[in-house]
Amino acid sequence: MKLSTIPLAVRTTCPYCGVGCGVTATAQPDGSLAIAGDEKHEANRGRLCVKGAALGETLGLDGRLLQPALRERGQLRDASWDEALDRVAAGFARAVAQHGPDSVALYVSGQMLTEDYYVANKLMKGYIGSANIDTNSRLCMSSSVAGHKRAFGEDIVPGCYEDFELADMVVLAGSNAAWCHPTLFQRLVRARELRPQMKIVVIDPRRTATVELADMHLPIKPGSDAWLFNGLLCHLARQGRADRDFIAAHTEGLDEALAAAQDTCGDLHAVARACRVDPALLLAFYDAFAATAKVVTAYSQGINQSSSGTDKVNSIINCHLLTGRIGKPGMGPFSLTGQPNAMGGREVGGLANMLAAHMELEDPTQRAAVQAFWDSPRIAHQPGLKAVDLFRAVEEGRIKALWIIATNPVVSLPDADQARRALAKCELVVVSDIVAGTDTNAYADVLLPALGWGEKDGTVTNSERRISRQRSFLPAPGAARADWQVLCQVAQRMGFGGLDYQSVHEIFDEHARLSAWRNEGATARVFRLDGLAGMSRRDYDELEPIQWPVTHGEDGKPRGAARLFGDGRFARPSGRARLVPVTPRGPANLPGGDYPLVLNTGRVRDQWHTMTRTGKSPRLAGHVPEPFIDMHPQDALLCGVREGELARVMSDWGEMVARVAHGGGIARGSLFVPIHWSGQTAADARVGAVVNPVVDPLSGEPEFKHTPVRVEPFGVA
Ligand code: SF4
């Protein structure tokens, strides 16, 4: 593609996973674009995975949504921005006037930049007056958020990527980091090459690419993680590994947590049976963890996407609190986020139960502080609907107008056919996207063209709390506009006065100042950007990646923090961390009867979400060219299907079709199906249609890793 107008070289950030790699995009003499890893970015130090390296191949305008469109008499027609914005504003205003603020909702995304996210959250909570704004990040890391808040008092990842290199043992629980967080995994493997005493342990029911490079693999029964970590807690206590000084000075709840663990997991052989692992292997892991001071336990969707995900997170954190292994170099629990700005969304209150700047919606003092800062006419008084409940409310007619931004719920939600039914019934469906023809767009009454990577401008925050600039270097295609501009233009048409920003810099500055805002009586918070408040436009443009909390250094420059809690001070009112009692619970729906197999879902190495961008690169498509059902050959035989044949996966909620594969990493009784493919393939390959919609009661995160299913040859009625 010809990119003759772009600046010579731009430092920006990859738009895919939560590692948040720095990228340099350099215009070539022939007008093409060279993509490379940014040597100066601490997240990746010059590395890129294959998805990041292929970014230049995904920027063409084929399939882009370039013009607003309105549905009339069942057909979409091109429209002007004025027509489209008027329709959105009028539809939202009418629903609010007739049915109240909770009759409208926003469903947003960890793909959005922090500035876009901030404006969306402010519009809904501070002006419309409802907290019915939730995000697709609900589907990937909300259990970690809830677990952090229970243990630390605030949603905080205590450590940094460097800890993976400094540790003597890195435990990866429910994480296929080799495929899902590749450059971080490369750093880890390189560190082990330099220090062979370092060990990598993987806890995963599947034999993944990550397992291939591990020193130890515990192939646990799906869903049994909390038994394993509760058993570890008991073992550490029995072995005298508790850090008594740290516990006495900086924690509470040890006795209750130990008692709960002891009840169910005090006996190693009972834990081994519950986890379906060899007791000798389990003991070897427990002994190695006990004997190694510098341990990082990193966890991802295999832990979070569970009906007891929050408890699983706390069972991990408990082991680190018991041993005082937190906030110090090379040790700590670490939540690996899936999306590029899952963390930034948390900062601005993108979840339905949070307010901007990590303040709590249900805390009247913090609520008043945010409203006073915004000088807004109202503020939502109660948590809004979380993703799965939100789409139920749409189907039930309680939500009349829904605005979806940068996500494709008809593919990605659990029970995805329910999302279809909901959107088909909704009075007004607005979709902002960069792509014209997603499964979700088929249900839009209003389509709004958005800016993509390289076109939009703002910040993202990665898994280690590092804020980086995503810079624009391409012109806006067609009539596409930034999400923040569109949100402001709708707000103005609805008569709201506090959303008239002129630039992303202005929004970021307000976000930074809000994080520093204290009202009398407001609890001190860790999430603070004091050192970035009041930045000039130029400083914002030139902002170097920096980890929050950001204070003013002695030289007057912003100073970030690599680790938190090293001083033993936590964000809870007592100043102490809490060990949370965990009683392990199995998955909500168990296999048996008509559905004897367990479906697990996840990513493949070279695709991202519903493939609207990575699907454009032939190089990326070459890795896994089509959807598949990975199953054990003996299970396939029993189901009457063979490798390479099309088969149907069916559950109580829906069905999908793909080809059978024998990847070799699957135990008897389980399947693995990737999340990326849509209903636009020859046969419907949306695995979301099969996934049960049961959620964790605390976090609202769905149980994507465990749905009872059966498999039949395709074509059998
Ligand atoms: Fe880095 Fe993740 Fe992008 Fe790969 S996908 S380049 S690991 S941010």
CA 487 / ligand 1 centre spacing (Å): 29
pLDDT value of residue 2: 47
Q: Which amino acid is at 423?
A: L
Instruction: Note the helical H segments in 213-359.
Output: 225-238, 244-250, 254-265, 268-275, 279-291, 301-304, 309-322, 342-347
Task: Give residues with Cβ within 8 angstroms of 588, minimum separation 6.
Answer: 307, 692, 694, 703, 706
Pocket test for ligand 1, best of 41, 57, 140, 181 (most atoms within 8 A of CB): 181
Shared fold status for 9-58 and 142-335:
no
pLDDT value of residue 611: 83
Domain residue spans of the chain: 9-58, 69-136+341-517+527-552, 142-335, 597-713
Residue in 439, 414, 420 with CA at minimum distance from that of residue 709: 414
DSSP state of 572: S
Other Cβ atoms less than 10 A from the Cβ of 62: the count is: 7
pLDDT value of residue 9: 86
Q: What number does the ligand 1 atom closest to the CA of 181 have?
A: 7
Contact 583, 266 (CB under 8 A): no
Residue in 220, 222, 245 with CA at minimum distance from that of residue 231: 220
Measured between alpha carbons, how far is 371 from 373 in angstroms, rounded to an integer?
Answer: 5
CA 23 / ligand 1 centre spacing (Å): 9
Contact 110, 135 (CB under 8 A): yes
Contact 248, 312 (CB under 8 A): no
Measured between alpha carbons, how far is 365 from 361 in angstroms, rounded to an integer?
Answer: 9
Report the percentage of the chain scoring pLDDT > 90.
85
* CATH architecture, range 597-713: Beta Barrel (2.40)
CA 20 / ligand 1 centre spacing (Å): 6
Q: Which amino acid is at 237?
A: A
CA distances (Å), 679 to each of 432, 684, 696, 708, in order?
20, 4, 27, 21
Contact 134, 144 (CB under 8 A): no
Task: Give residues with Cβ within 8 angstroms of 519, minimum separation 6.
Answer: 365, 368, 369, 372
Contact 91, 426 (CB under 8 A): no
CA 44 / ligand 1 centre spacing (Å): 8
Contact 166, 330 (CB under 8 A): yes
Specify the CATH number of the domain 9-58: 3.30.200.210
Measured between alpha carbons, how far is 537 from 527 in angstroms, rounded to an integer?
Answer: 22
Position 17 confidence tier, pLDDT thresholds 50, 70, 90: very high
Sign of CA dihedral 210, 213, 215, 221: positive
Contact 149, 400 (CB under 8 A): no
Nearest CA to ligand 1 atom 6: 52
For the sheet containing 104-108, what is the strand order? 75-78, 69-72, 446-449, 428-433, 401-405, 104-108, 133-135
Contact 686, 439 (CB under 8 A): yes
Report the C-alpha dihedral over residues 483, 484, 486, 488, rounded to 10 degrees. 160
Q: Which amino acid is at 587?
A: P
Measured between alpha carbons, how far is 667 from 312 in angstroms, rounded to an integer?
Answer: 22
Pocket test for ligand 1, best of 11, 13, 19 (most atoms within 8 A of CB): 19
CA 55 / ligand 1 centre spacing (Å): 10
Pocket test for ligand 1, best of 12, 13, 16 (most atoms within 8 A of CB): 16
Pocket test for ligand 1, best of 51, 161, 337 (most atoms within 8 A of CB): 51
Q: In the predicted model, what is the mean pLDDT of residues 68-88?
A: 97
Q: What number does the ligand 1 atom closest to the CA of 15 have?
A: 3
* Side-chain-side CA neighbours of residue 261 (13 Å): 32
pLDDT value of residue 109: 94
Task: Spell 298-309 as b/e; 16+ CB within 10 A means b.
Answer: bbbbbbbbbbbb
Nearest CA to ligand 1 atom 2: 17
Q: What number does the ligand 1 atom closest to the CA of 184 have?
A: 7
Q: Is the pLDDT of residue 521 over 70?
A: no
Contact 427, 399 (CB under 8 A): no
pLDDT value of residue 6: 60
pLDDT value of residue 664: 80
Other Cβ atoms less than 10 A from the Cβ of 360: the count is: 19
* CATH architecture, range 69-136+341-517+527-552: 3-Layer(aba) Sandwich (3.40)
Residue in 383, 340, 378 with CA at minimum distance from that of residue 359: 383
CA 462 / ligand 1 centre spacing (Å): 11
CA distances (Å), 541 to each of 11, 356, 378, in order?
11, 23, 33
Ligand 1 neighbours, Cβ below 6 Å, are 14, 16-17, 19-21, 44, 48-49, 51-52, 181-183
Average pLDDT across the chain, whole number? 94
CA 47 / ligand 1 centre spacing (Å): 9
Other Cβ atoms less than 10 A from the Cβ of 186: the count is: 18
- Supply φ then ψ for residue 254, to 5 degrees: -60, -45
Measured between alpha carbons, how far is 134 from 107 in angstroms, rounded to an integer?
Answer: 5
Q: Is the pLDDT of residue 1 over 50?
A: no
CA 160 / ligand 1 centre spacing (Å): 16
Contact 656, 673 (CB under 8 A): yes
Q: In the predicted model, what is the mean pLDDT of residues 195-201?
A: 96
pLDDT value of residue 623: 85
Q: Is the pLDDT of residue 359 over 50?
A: yes
pLDDT value of residue 522: 56
Task: Give residues with Cβ within 8 angstroms of 365, minimum separation 6.
Answer: 519, 521, 522, 523
Concatenated DSSP letters of 420-468: HHHHHH-SEEEEEESBS--TTGGG-SEEEEB--TTT--EEEE-TTSEEE
Three-state DSSP state, 606: coil
Q: Please write the tens of the pLDDT for every residue from 550-571.
A: 999 888 899 999 999 999 999 9
DSSP state of 215: S
Q: What number does the ligand 1 atom closest to the CA of 20 have?
A: 8
Task: Give residues with Cβ within 8 angstroms of 655, minimum separation 6.
Answer: 648, 649, 684, 689, 690
Measured between alpha carbons, how far is 602 from 109 in angstroms, rounded to an integer?
Answer: 18
Contact 180, 300 (CB under 8 A): yes
Concatenated DSSP letters of 625-660: -S-EEEE-HHHHHHHT--TTSEEEEE-SS-EEEEEE
| Tokens linked to 400 | 């009349």
CA 701 / ligand 1 centre spacing (Å): 24
Select the more confidently predicted residue: 602 or 267: 267
For the ranges 41-45, 516-520, 663-667, the maximum mean pLDDT occurs at 41-45
Q: What number does the ligand 1 atom closest to the CA of 50 have?
A: 4
Q: In the predicted model, what is the mean pLDDT of residues 26-43?
A: 91
Cis peptide preceding 549, ω within 30 of 0: yes
Pocket test for ligand 1, best of 35, 41, 49, 619 (most atoms within 8 A of CB): 49
- 142-335 CATH, one of 3.40.228.10, 3.90.850.10, 3.40.47.10, 3.60.20.10: 3.40.228.10
Three-state DSSP state, 54: coil
Report the percentage of the chain scoring pLDDT > 70.
97
Q: Is the pLDDT of residue 329 over 80?
A: yes
Measured between alpha carbons, how far is 21 from 39 in angstroms, rounded to an integer?
Answer: 10
Position 5 confidence tier, pLDDT thresholds 50, 70, 90: low
Task: Give residues with Cβ within 8 angstroms of 350, minimum separation 6.
Answer: 108, 110, 112, 117, 120, 121, 133, 134, 135, 137
CA 179 / ligand 1 centre spacing (Å): 10
